[in-house]
Chain A
Amino acid sequence: MKLPLIAGFAPDAVFAWREGEPIPTRRFLRDVARLGALLPARGQVLNLCADRYRFAVGFGAALLRGQVSLLPPNHTPEMVAQLLLDYPGLYCLREEGGPALEIETLLFPQEAGAADGGEPGDPQAPLIPEEQVAAIVFTSGSTGTPLPNRKTWGRLTLSAQSEAARLGLRASPGEPAWSLVGTVPPQHMYGFESTVLLPMQGGLAMHAGRPFYAADVAAALGSLPHPRALITTPVHLRALVEEAAASASSAAAFQALPDFLLCATAPLSDDLARSAEARLKAPLYEIYGCTEAGQVATRRSSAGPRWQALPGLELHQDQLGTWVRGGHVEGEVLLGDVIELADDTHFELRGRNADMINIAGKRTSLAHLNFQLGNIEGVRDGVFVLPEHANKGEAEKNPEVVRLAALVVAPGLKPAQITAALRRRVDAVFLPRPLYMVEALPRNSTGKLTAAALRELLAQCATKPPTRT
């Protein structure tokens, strides 16, 4: 079976808002067809367009050409080199001024604009085979090789339609369509699902930008017609809520801006969830998911800790942990969190598995970070540590962001050299702060590092004056 690129296709419905200008769906389809004809005859594309509209055009064009969009967890030089090993036919699509990487690159062509839109008749939304692999989303894995998760067009469209229905954001006749602003990049699984696929399959209009500061988010929301949704993360939500609280004079400017708040990547604290609804005067929903399964469940944050699985999904447990299957999930996926099931579609989160790290919504594993650290030339031994209460002060100030520490044995290297080498290999949020140089790690007779021994060494290092970089 084939499924349309745009569900419920209405050629004049707004698909995107770009620099204050509405872009109708017919122009989106024309831009997709135009770019599709320009793409090189290759198998996979690394779509790094920062403009959300251009990302969607690039994704649509790749689909038309039967090319797979690759979504790795970061775009460091090391990651791109790894991807090229596994996908020698990979090329990069990006805008001028984007990050220059060592890979064959197509610069996104200038759009033809509105003036060139006068084709007679209505274009048809292209049909894509449901079994076509549309995207491969990667997790960082425990070694240098990123682990692929294939997403077919059929599963992706089902997922987006389930989300639109569950959250009440689906376009319906006679009702004004929703618009959305996203602070998440379209290259991230959550951003891909909720700011690219949701508009394509739920009839929403996307804001093409990716506002960063609280004032940017407010301006982007203010530029769209009601009803409008903000698709964000705990870190950005907190900045917005605190800014609204701090600038009492302009608090009105932050209120009544979003009509709906959606947050994901890490569970929200009750405090932040409550103050977000109170300050921003909009209902707040969260999505729980992971790269492997995609979105799994939703909850109204103020209604309590219980999550409800998306339509068609079922959870069950065995000695390995909690599995999800059904609906848009391909096969069965083991979830990386400790979960308490109420029944097969309702659950509460009880914490992360010990090796998993989530900082500001970006996920990796300690095993992966340790692997990257150990592979730096000159590093004899090294380990990342998630300080539990070591930086409690910081955790209280900003519970969404707890930084990692690292203990490194590397005679002859300076901390700054190690940080620079790590920067080429891992996402910046995982860079250790602090990084301590030590003479040896407290490995026991079997070569293992116990949590207690690491904590003790970390505490000793912390009482010494900071190492000069």
Chain B
Amino acid sequence: MSALTEQELALAHLVVETLNLEVKPEEIDPEAPLYGEGLGLDSIDILEMALAISKTYGVQLRSEDENNRKIFASLRRLNEHLQEHRTK
């Protein structure tokens, strides 16, 4: 497991707080999948995260975006996408 960067840790906190997860933010593996196996998120969680992301980063996620699966592939990929597109 590689260590979380400061930005990734902030995102990890948002994920854990939004979804009331049982895991500590600093213990999330930044390379592990968020969907299904791994952190165990389902589509309802993803919808919930999309709203939190919109409020926090000003990024509106779209599933027509070909990269959508890749974006949620891991915390690291999600953070990269948000840093690239953030308006807040």
A residues contacting B by CB (< 8 A) are 211-216, 219, 235-236, 239, 242-243, 246-247, 250, 360, 391, 393-394, 397-398, 401, 403, 419-420, 423, 428-429, 431, 433-434, 466
Contact = CB atoms under 8 A, between A and B. Distances in A.
Interface of B: 20-24, 36-37, 40, 42-44, 47-48, 50-51, 54-55, 60-64
A360 B61 CA distance: 21
17 contacts: A211-B63, A212-B43, A212-B63, A213-B62, A215-B60, A216-B62, A216-B64, A239-B47, A239-B50, A246-B55, A247-B60, A250-B60, A394-B20, A428-B42, A429-B42, A433-B22, A466-B23
Given A246-B54, A420-B37, 16 more contacts: A213-B50, A213-B63, A214-B54, A239-B47, A239-B50, A243-B60, A247-B60, A250-B60, A360-B44, A401-B44, A401-B48, A428-B36, A429-B42, A433-B21, A466-B22, A466-B23
Given A243-B51, A246-B54, A235 B63 contact: no
Nearest to A218: B60
Given A213-B47, A391-B20, A428-B42, A247 B64 contact: no
A420 B48 CA distance: 23
Given A246-B51, A246-B54, A393-B20, A213 B42 contact: no
Contacts of A394: 20
A247 B54 contact: yes
A434 B22 contact: yes
4 shortest interchain CB distances as A-B pairs: A428-B42, A215-B60, A212-B63, A466-B22
A61 to B, nearest CB: 28
A403 B44 CA distance: 11
Given A211-B63, A216-B63, A398-B48, A243 B22 contact: no
A215 B61 contact: yes
A214 B60 contact: yes
Contacts of A391: 20
Contacts of B21: 433
A213 B55 CA distance: 14
A461 to B, nearest CB: 11
Contact of B47 (A236, A431, A433): A236
